[in-house]
């Protein structure tokens, strides 16, 4: 009868809409293959959050497309889209995921205001002291040959010196604490993973980690976590 067809059609429409809503609600992370984005990806996996990925080809300059600039006005990666909400800056995304999914997986922000303070402190050390010289090494040693621009030997030398000084402080800190922010793994540790992976592999300066006993033990511990292994296997750059 017409009425039974109508009711079946209505059920189908309802199911399609539900699927669409659910699809819209799945978190989307942009440019998962690149190192900065992997800070966000490893956090999602640590917290057991399902997500989809959207490819952005930096080599083709897709991050300067108007559609991309509409969601990330600086033309940088990554971006996390969560339904109608969007957030950029890799370490801000990490904090957002760790806060939103606080009750599942490891508590990556610490348990008290004081512990969170230490997590924030070492996250900021990573962003402002550790990352800049390591990024300079990555650009000049890994990407310069790929992109056809000359490596700056002076920058390489100065960056290695700066990074070495930072790692000396890490060595002292990690001789007193198992992880950077204390005796618990946190966002501060995870934030170091993607570019330190460059340092020990593609950059070819693994000795900067291995020659420092406590830094080396810390690196072995955080880089052998299941979440990071999954990131390395699933989201390898094809270079």
Binding region for a copy of itself (CB under 8 A): 73-74, 76, 85, 87-92, 95-96, 99-100, 113-114, 116-118, 120-121, 123-125, 127-129, 132, 166, 169, 172-173
Helix (H) or strand (E) holding 86: strand 85-88
CB of 93 to a copy of itself, least distance (A): 8
Candidates 194, 195, 179; CA nearest to 121 is 179
By beta-carbon proximity to a copy of itself, the closer residue of 61 and 145 is 61
Q: Is 6 exposed, middle or buried (0-12, 13-18, 19+ CB in 10 A)?
A: exposed
Q: What 3-state DSSP class applies to 121?
A: helix
CB of 89 to a copy of itself, least distance (A): 4
By beta-carbon proximity to a copy of itself, the closer residue of 95 and 192 is 95
CB of 113 to a copy of itself, least distance (A): 5
Query: How far, in whole angstroms, is CA 31 from its chain's centroid?
Result: 11
By beta-carbon proximity to a copy of itself, the closer residue of 75 and 145 is 75
> Within 10 Å of residue 122's Cβ, how many Cβ atoms?
23
CB of 8 to a copy of itself, least distance (A): 38
By beta-carbon proximity to a copy of itself, the closer residue of 16 and 69 is 69
Q: Read off the DSSP letter of residue 83.
A: T
């Amino acid at each position: 009868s017409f009425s039974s067809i109508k009711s079946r059609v209505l059920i189908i429409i309802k199911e399609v809409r539900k699927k669409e809503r659910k699809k819209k609600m799945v978190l989307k992370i942009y440019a998962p293959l690149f190192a900065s984005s992997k800070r966000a990806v490893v956090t999602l996996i640590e917290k057991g959050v399902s997500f989809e990925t959207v490819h952005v080809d930096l080599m083709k300059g897709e991050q300067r497309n108007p559609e991309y600039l509409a969601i990330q006005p600086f033309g940088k990666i990554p971006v996390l889209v969560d339904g109608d909400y969007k957030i950029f800056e890799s370490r801000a995304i990490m904090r957002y995921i760790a806060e939103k999914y606080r009750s599942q997986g490891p508590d990556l922000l610490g348990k008290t205001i004081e512990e969170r303070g230490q997590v924030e402190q070492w996250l900021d050390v990573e962003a402002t002291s550790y990352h800049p010289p390591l990024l300079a090494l990555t650009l000049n040693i890994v990407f310069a040959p790929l992109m056809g621009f000359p490596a700056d030997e002076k920058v390489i030398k100065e960056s290695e010196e700066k990074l070495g000084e930072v790692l000396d402080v890490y060595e002292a800190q990690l001789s007193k604490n198992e992880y950077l922010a204390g005796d618990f793994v946190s966002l501060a540790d995870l934030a170091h993973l993607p570019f330190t992976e460059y340092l020990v592999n593609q950059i070819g300066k693994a000795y900067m980690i291995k020659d420092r006993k406590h830094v080396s033990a810390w690196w072995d511990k955080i880089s052998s976590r299941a979440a990071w292994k999954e990131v390395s296997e699933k989201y390898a750059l094809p270079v």
